Structure 1
Amino acid sequence: MSEFWPVRDALAYLAGSWRVARTVRDLASGAEGEFSGTTDFGRLDGGGLLHEESGTFRWQGVARPAERTLRFLPGPAPGTADVRFADGRPFHDLDLSTGRHVTDHPCSADLYRGEFSVLDAGRWRTVWRVGGPAKDLVLVTDYTRITG
């Protein structure tokens, strides 16, 4: 039995609502934070999904609201997607056809390396490692499908 769950259609798999739990660790300072909330993948006119995440981010004892919006557009094959920021700039590619994908996103002097793992029909995880002159972070996010 494989530890990853292959996905035939990435956009169909992601569609819907997910509970989100994220840990953020600053490897240089040892500081830790967490985000908890939800992500909704709703249909976009013309195809694709609008990813809307909202919740609470706690960093060094301070809680504040946090949100982000991404666009997941159809990729070249059903198991893939083209992920973009809300303003349309490219973010990263995504290929869930084997249940696991590694991608990079250069951002100024920093490099974001993301690993996506599909665990089953209702759970997936991302691990982003961020390195650069001013950043040394690991962000681990677990998604659990909200049913009913």
Structure 2
Amino acid sequence: MPVPRVLAHLAGAWHVERTVRDLADGSEGRFAGTTLFTPLPAPDLGGLLHQESGTFTWHGAARAAERTLRFLPGGPGADDATARVEFADGRFFHDLDLRTGHWTTDHLCVRDLYRGEFEVFDADHWRTRWRVGGPAKDLLLVTEYRRDRAAGSGERRTG
């Protein structure tokens, strides 16, 4: 499903389920939780704060897990058609362009390559797949996002 305004589409609350497979040894873990996309404070007007929290279970042990990212408008004149995704500390992570409903991107982390694939199915469901390969990791992370309509979230309808 094409998404002409990625930031408007992501705004709100999402249920998250992620599988993490270690392709080297076959072990598998799971994350379940929530991702909130809320407006960033000034000076990052127009951007979204991505706050993920939940429980990650790996080798039978469950523990709390969270991460924070920043989604900023993609560039001059881009409005929110595309996004620049940063880690919480401002380091660049990847670009995101869902105008066709699908996006592939890479992120090099030391010597491990993260290859991400994003796919939007409808207004309330999207998926990411990150294939991580290199000397330190051999992983597949698949995350399903489902909009939490009960939390009062919903795509901000714009122009």
Taking structure 2 as the reference length, what is the TM-score of the superposition?
Answer: 0.89
**Secondary structure of 2:149's aligned partner:** coil
1:22 aligns with 2:18: yes
State the 4+ residue runs in structure 1 displaced beyond 4 angstroms.
none
Q: CA deviation at 1:134?
A: 1.8
Structure 2 match to 1:109: 111
- 1:81 aligned onto 2:90: no
Helix, strand or coil for the counterpart of 1:35? Answer: strand
- Deviations, residues 67-89 of structure 1 (Å, cap 9, x unaligned): 00000000132321000000000
For 2:94 and 2:115, how far apart are their aligned partners in 1? 10
- In terms of fraction of residues, the more strand-rich structure is 1
2:144 matches 1:142: yes
Where 1:11 maps in the other structure, the secondary structure is: helix
Alignment of 1:31 onto 2:27: yes
Distance, in Å, in 2 between the alignment partners of 1:143 and 1:79 is 20
| Aligned-residue RMSD, C-alpha | 0.7
Query: What is the aligned-residue identity percentage?
Result: 68
Q: How many equivalent pairs are there?
A: 144
Give me the TM-score of the superposition, normalised by structure 1.
0.96
2:85 and 2:46 map into 1 onto residues whose CA distance is 13
Give structure 2 stretches of 5+ with no counterpart.
151-159
Tell which deviates more after alignment, 9-18 or 70-79: 70-79
What is the rounded CA distance, in whole Å, between the counterparts of 1:134 and 1:69 in structure 2?
23
Specify the code of the residue in structure 2 equivalent to 1:144. Answer: R
